[in-house]
Structure 1
Amino acid sequence: MVSKTMAQQGQERGGENRLDVVTLGRAGIDLYGEQIGGRLEDMASFAKYIGGSPTNTAVGAARLGLRAGLIARVGADHFGRFIVEELNREGVVTDGVRTDPDRLTALAILGIRDPDTFPLIFYRENCADMALCAGDIDPDFVASAGALLINGTHLSQPGVFDASIKAARLMKAAGGRVVFDIDYRPVLWGLAGKDNGEDRFVADQCVTEALQRVLPLCDLIVGTEEEIHILGGSTDTLAALRAIRAQSSALLVCKRGAEGCVAFPDAVPASLDAGIVGRGFPIEVFNVLGAGDAFMAGFLRGWLKDMPLEKCCEIANACGALVVSRHGCAPAMASWDELRHFLAGQWPHRLRESAELEQLHWSTNRHGERDELTVLAIDHRSQFDNLLAELGESDEARIHHFKNLALEALHRMGAGDPNYGVLLDGRFGARALEAAADHPYWIGRPIEVPGSRPLLFEGSHDVGMTLRDWPTNHVVKCLVFYHPDDDAEMRARQDRQLLRLFDACRRTRHEFLLEIIASKHGPVDSGTIASVIDHVYSLGIYPDWWKLEPTTDAAAWAASETAILRHDPLCRGIVLLGLSAPRDEVLAGIVAAAPFPLVKGFAVGRTIFHDVAQQWLTGAIDDEAAITALGENLRVLADGWRAARSARVAA
């Protein structure tokens, strides 16, 4: 039996999963220069994001709570796969994305020179998304949505023009609405030099005539004043709007930069200010690229939910303001919770300096929520050094191989379940880390020098430079021996290190797991760990995950959970560590922690691997026996966790 797409299934269920909007057109890679304030020639490193106006808008719409889909082509290459994977992580339906075996994924290289200059180079000749054709348009997928967004770039070539028109006609026939983002880039019409991708306006009658062919199909038309000029065929904004109105009854929205926007549902009045406006947001412009895509996502969030036009304009202006304050386009898009928080508050002129807002942006837009986490922790380094010394062994390559066996044991147990995970180091576990990239498991990696107190980091003296070498899906794990009774100098030194690490994690887009062990350096009661947690948050540090010592003290778990939720209700959760305790003690700790919802599972190591490693290194067991033993030890703890969790749910 042929499986049905999500769109078909939703349509047949009476719209239960009906899409709010499908966007059509550009889907490529943005390589953003990371150095700010210089020429593109002088930029040395680039951040990779998904890009393309309709793709950015689809991401923005999904983050705002709309069910969004995309129609596009990507190459059968690494970048094409990244786009599809990232869209899926963002919740954008990709049923309409085709893979082109003959063309590469589109590419744009961008920089931020100053508030008014943003150098931009498009690599779009014979690229995948510009090969979209009418045959790629699935009528069922189009009909599964309430609205379709098309844009001006995909009217610049005959094939993509036909695809856009076909999709628009199908949407109208299905009773939906067509949205037109004018999205005028002269360079993509051959009207500007290839090194002038940032140019926004070149008058051209042929472009005007091509764009105007879609006007009778439109229900909403959005553009900047310059884009209104090209669509209307006049550099007088009011005259251009009236020329558009003569051919379309669509709602017209003119974006005016720092002045916000103005909407015209009916006749165009005598002045722009006489239209319908929403509250604007006078903030510092850091990066104008992507602001229009965010504006469109915000306007659609209001318009498709039948909000008043003033509110639609306000939401759109706010979404644009948030994006112009950040680096990148798609990753800068606001979540719905973030947007509501922004609209309800008072913020500094330089938005990116608001730690509160940036924390909300980070925590509401993370990918890959996990209800539970079963982690084999085998990131140990000094313990394996000691084991080799005890056995008189000097061949470190054997430890590399054993950690590969541990990954295989996890894989046989997890069978592709993303709720399983592994902690691996870059010294003995480098090959296993590389192999883990092909699996969907949670991956954590230690940054601390084993046993260091005060805390030291492995790698470069600049921990940020070390993390730049790590894949972004590696969660940075840091173990710190921290006790509330530590002297002031010890606390200050450790605090400085944790602040450096937290800043580096955010700048390199890595999640952060903070492991706290207090019991080795002072007495511990039911409030000890909660006190450390409160202190960490007081520094402005927000770990995505906490890894805490096992205890059967329910009051201690309650205090720790309360402390975390008081400061960060969006925290990913807590996992238990094992401290090399006997298996029965670890199981007892799991049972004690399971009643607390923020506890998501465990990350246990030596309890699982130590005896197996010793037997394997001495030749008492072979590879297969080691894999089996590791898997069995992990299974016992996993079964204990799930039994305790089920008891919590039942209660």
Structure 2
Amino acid sequence: MRSAPLVTSVGEIIVDFVSARAGTTLSGTPGFSKHAGAAAANVAVGLAKLGIRTSFIGRVGRDPFGHFLTSELRKTGVDTARVRIDDSHRTRLAFASRTRSGGRDFAFWESSPADEQLQPSDVDLSHLARSGIVHIGSFLLLKEPARSTAFHIAEKVSRLGSMVSFDPNIRLPLWRSPGEARRELLKMVGIASVLRLNDKEAYFLTGIRPYRRAASKLLAEGPILVAITMGSRGCYACTNRHSSFVRGFKVRVVDTTGCGDSFLAALLFGILKERKRIRNFSESTLGSICRFSNAAGALTATRLGVITALPTRAQVERFLNANRIRT
């Protein structure tokens, strides 16, 4: 019998078609390259590449894209035994344009994709209970039945003693309204143990611009640890006992897609590596974990796509040795 995963990621997995030429529109690009992606899947792969036993739970369509996605996950070492194949709904696709500075803009294709059909019966709670951390993908909150399934999982897992990880990964065009997005995302924030989001998302959820105050507001909602990322500027992380701002790294940016997912995977890796409760982390420990996470995110920005760009532990450690910074 295989060992239980240390982390199980539940949520969305998507085919990203990334513009072959930066600085062009989706209609004007000469072509696209195909990549497996989506935040929940990226976190699973990021952890697997860092050496953590990881499984993924979600739905894909019974179509060539669904087959491609599950195959790509397996190649990285992620357990896909609990990915459900949907006969009635197709795999979600995303088309991404890139700015010359490495930014991106997404257009999503498929009005009723397979990932939104996740049901409680698709999820083995005993499997989740054996995971130290369960990561919930935010796309599950977009529509029913996946929304109710996500809250059911998070509440059950939390009561069973596993940590819940969450990243809002806000894509407002996919929501019915900003108000609905804020309401549902904050409900999950209230269940989560570990919360990662960027500074713009923190402002959207709290209405507070200074990131330290926004983090305090979010921490009061229930998480044990809140990490706010700010691109190359760095990140700010806090618990009820300590906080740490860690400066980022300057790299040659090719594609920023998945940098936040890479950061979160590295953050969860650091939490597991410590083998102690987050509440007992010192300021130094918090800073060290954030520095490692910043490095993982920076490395991801240097290559096109996400899964191929997500770094291994050895790559992150080499990068850190070559780029010493102070907190």
TM-score normalised per structure 1: 0.46
Kindly tell me: are residues 165 and 79 of structure 1, through their superposed partners in 2, closer, same or farther at Cα, counting changes over 3 Å?
same
Kindly indicate whether the alpha-carbon contact (under 8 Å) linking 2:233 and 2:247 is maintained by their aligned counterparts in 1: no
**Of 313, 325, 334, the match for 2:290:** 313
Q: Within the alignment, does 1:157 sit opposite 2:140 as a pair?
A: no
Q: Is the 8 A contact 2:172 2:181 kept in 1?
A: no
CA contact (8 A) 2:295 2:316 kept: yes
The CA deviation string for residues 448-497 of structure 1, in whole angstroms up to 9 with x for no partner, is xxxxxxxxxxxxxxxxxxxxxxxxxxxxxxxxxxxxxxxxxxxxxxxxxx
The residue correspondences of 1:45-444 to structure 2 (distance < 5 A) are 45-115=31-101, 117-191=103-177, 204-266=178-240, 275-306=243-274, 308-346=285-323
Do the aligned partners of 1:64 and 1:334 also contact (CA within 8 Å) in 2? yes
Tell me which residue corresponds to 1:197.
none
Deviation of the 1:163 alpha carbon: 1.3
Q: Displacement of 1:141 after TM fit? A: 2.1
Q: Are the structure 2 counterparts of residues 215 and 45 from structure 1 closer, same or farther at C-alpha, using a change threshold of 3 Å? A: closer
Q: Which secondary structure does the structure 1 equivalent of 2:81 belong to?
A: strand
CA distance in 1, matches of 2:84, 2:57: 8
Shift of 1:21: 0.7
In the alignment, the residues of structure 2 paired with residue 77 and residue 87 of structure 1 have an alpha-carbon distance, to the nearest angstrom, of 16
CA contact (8 A) 1:95 1:141 kept: no
Judging by fraction of residues, say which structure has more helix.
1
Structure 2 Cα separation of the partners of residues 93 and 330 of structure 1: 15
Q: Could you tell me how far apart the structure 2 residues matched to 1:243 and 1:40 are?
A: 38
Determine the C-alpha separation between the residues in 1 that align with 2:18 and 2:220. Answer: 40
SS of the residue corresponding to residue 110 of structure 1 reads strand
Residue of structure 2 in register with 1:19 after alignment: 5
Deviation at 1:117, TM superposition (A): 4.3
| Residue 280 (structure 1) shift | 2.2
> What is the deviation of 1:238?
4.1
Would you say the 8 A contact 1:124–1:130 is kept in 2?
no
Partner of 1:609: none
Q: CA deviation at 1:47?
A: 1.4
Q: What is the distance in 2 between the residues matched to 1:220 and 1:36?
A: 34
The amino acid that maps onto 2:74 is: N
- Shift of residue 171, structure 1, vs aligned partner: 1.8
Partner SS for 1:38: coil
Find the aligned partners of 1:249 and 1:319 in 2 and give their Cα distance.
23
Q: Distance in 2 between matches of 1:117 and 1:183?
A: 15
Matched, 1:41 2:27: yes
SS at 2:220's partner residue? helix
Q: Aligned AA for 2:217?
A: A
Distance in 2 of aligned mates of 1:165 and 1:295: 24
Query: 1:140 Cα shift?
Result: 2.2
Q: CA RMSD in A?
A: 2.0
Task: Give the match's secondary structure for 1:109.
Answer: strand
Is the Cα–Cα contact under 8 Å of residues 136 and 163 in structure 1 kept in the other structure? no
Partner residue of 1:418?
A: none
Instruction: Quote how far apart the aligned CAs of 1:132 are.
Output: 1.2
Deviation at 1:19, TM superposition (A): 0.8
User: Aligned letter for 2:311?
Assistant: A
Instruction: Work out whether residues 245 and 267 of structure 1, in 8 Å CA contact, stay in contact via their aligned partners in 2.
Output: no
1:47 alignment partner AA = S
In the alignment, the residues of structure 1 paired with residue 311 and residue 241 of structure 2 have an alpha-carbon distance, to the nearest angstrom, of 33
What amino acid sits opposite 1:319 in the alignment?
Answer: A
Is 2:90–2:110's contact at 8 Å kept on the other side of the alignment?
Answer: no
Q: Which has the higher contact order (CA 8 A, sep 6+)?
A: 2
How many residues end up aligned between the 2 structures?
A: 315
What letter matches 1:276 in structure 2? S
Structure 2 residue runs of 5 or longer lacking an equivalent are 276-284
Asked if 2 retains the 8 angstrom alpha-carbon contact of 1:298 and 1:316, the reply is yes
Conservation of the 8 A alpha-carbon contact between 1:112 and 1:118: yes
Rounded Cα–Cα distance in structure 2 between residues aligned with 1:119 and 1:222: 20
Query: What is the DSSP-based 3-state SS (H/G/I as helix, E as strand, rest coil) of the residue aligned with 1:294?
Result: helix
What SS does the aligned partner of 2:19 have?
A: strand
Gapped regions of structure 1 (runs ≥ 5)? 1-8, 11-16, 192-203, 269-274, 348-651
Paired letter, 2:144: P
CA separation of 1:205/1:259 partners in 2, compared to 1, >3 Å: closer, same or farther? same
Separation (CA, whole Å) in 1 of partners of 2:232 and 2:247: 11
The equivalences for 1:524-603 within 5 A come to none
Give the secondary structure class of the aligned counterpart of 2:52.
coil
AA matched with 1:133: Q
Report the alpha carbon displacement of residue 49 of structure 1 after superposing the two structures with TM: 1.1
Give the letter for the 1:330 counterpart.
I
Contact 2:103 2:256 (C-alpha < 8 Å) held by counterparts: no
Within 1, Cα distance between the matches of 2:317 and 2:186? 36
Contact 2:191–2:223 at 8 Å: present in 1 too?
Answer: no
Superposition deviation, residue 236 in structure 1: 4.8
Q: TM-score, normalised by structure 2?
A: 0.90
Q: Percent identity?
A: 28
Secondary structure in structure 2 of the residue aligned to 1:125: coil
Distance in 1, matches of 2:322 and 2:102, equals 27
Say whether the 8 Å CA contact 1:32–1:109 is kept in structure 2: yes
Q: State the shift of 1:104 in Å.
A: 0.8
How far apart in 1 are the matches of 2:206 and 2:274?
27
Larger gyration radius, structure 1 or structure 2? 1
How far, CA to CA, are the matches of 1:30 and 1:146 in structure 2?
29
Give the Cα–Cα distance (whole angstroms) in 1 for the partners of residues 241 and 170 of structure 2.
24
